[in-house]
Amino acid sequence: MFIVLAILAFGIIIAIHELGHYISAKALGVKVNEFAIGMGPKLLKKQGKETLYSLRALPFGGFCSMEGEHEEGEDPDPRSFLSQKRWRRIVILAAGSVANFIAAFIIIFILTIGAEGFMGTTITGFLDGFPNEGPQGFMQGDTIVSINGERLFYRDDFRLLMQISRSDNVDITVLRNNEHVELRNILMQQREYEIDGETYMLYGLTFNFIENSFLESLKYSTYQTYSFIRMIRLSIVMMVSGGASIRDVSGPVGIVSAMNTIGQQTARENGIMAAIGSIVFFTTFIGINVAVLNLLPIPAMDGGRILFIFITWIIEKITRKRLDPKYEGYINTVAFVLLIGLMVLVLYNDVLREIRR
């Protein structure tokens, strides 16, 4: 059941992304030849006035095929993609990711509007044996502002930033009596604490409870969307700096497997409805992942194509000659081949992980 939900969720993420391209293209007068959900052979199709709408066999993908998207020709259609002004093309290319951001925000808001409240970052107390209590450490009433320079908004941010820290010694800024206090290189380790007869690994701090309201849900949804973007940024930095490798990257198979695992674990602990909610919440993170990665300045990705628009504008301003679109096509083709190779490698790692499990 959860595998089916996970596959469906992944398909919806791609559908939302491509829908963003489709709506913006239609709104700006660009001809869309086909809007497809999925890849591979067509299962269902319907010809509209000018657009073919299709549902394809493989749920991991989709596309919005616009007239003249990759080559303009000698007598271009005025409604083709490449015939549009630069700002219009940028809007269309960015619209897919924008759609994913908006969808994630809306889903998080729907999931949290009924919550009793959220845990903040103001310290309300300490568990027995906490080693860093006092004027040189933490004091009751302190609000944790940042960890290693990263801003905190809710308790979940504290957990995340502590988990990804490469050391137990971190730099923490707290707000104390309306003044910022710097706690440099302070040791923060998880310890075993017994609560209600059960043992937990905790840092020993307790935080304030923020009652929910309509405005608080809007605030939380905004910060959570930002937090997901930050998680992706930090992950990319870790890969570039060597803190993570390509083996840690998951593709569609790994993502569906992770969703299935989350669903099963949550169902055992809190029931089916909670499991579905967890899958939906995780889906928002994957949707934002898709949005951010597509905006990276990598050829063949939306961000790379946007970057090329700026580059061609600079070149044409300098040379006063129009740059042939075929050069962008060559670059995108090479990049696409490399991207397919990367996808195959990620798929191999995903399958290998599943076999080992």
Positions marked catalytic: 18
Helix (H) or strand (E) holding 121: strand 117-126
- CA–CA dist 125, 167 (Å, integer): 24
Alpha carbon of 104 to those of 58, 111, 286, 309: distances in Å? Answer: 23, 11, 9, 28
Q: Which residue from 68, 85, 69 is spatially nearest to 77, judged by alpha carbons?
A: 68
- CA–CA dist 256, 263 (Å, integer): 10
Residue 48 token pair: 């509209």
The runs of H, that is alpha helices, within the chain are 2-27, 86-112, 155-164, 214-241, 252-270, 272-295, 302-319, 326-356
- CA–CA dist 241, 233 (Å, integer): 12
Q: Which residues contact 156 (CB under 8 A, 6 or more apart)?
A: 119, 227
Residue 114 token pair: 């009924």
Residue 144 token pair: 């944790």
Between the CA atoms of 118, 260, 240 and 93, what dihedral angle is there, to the nearest 10 degrees?
A: -80
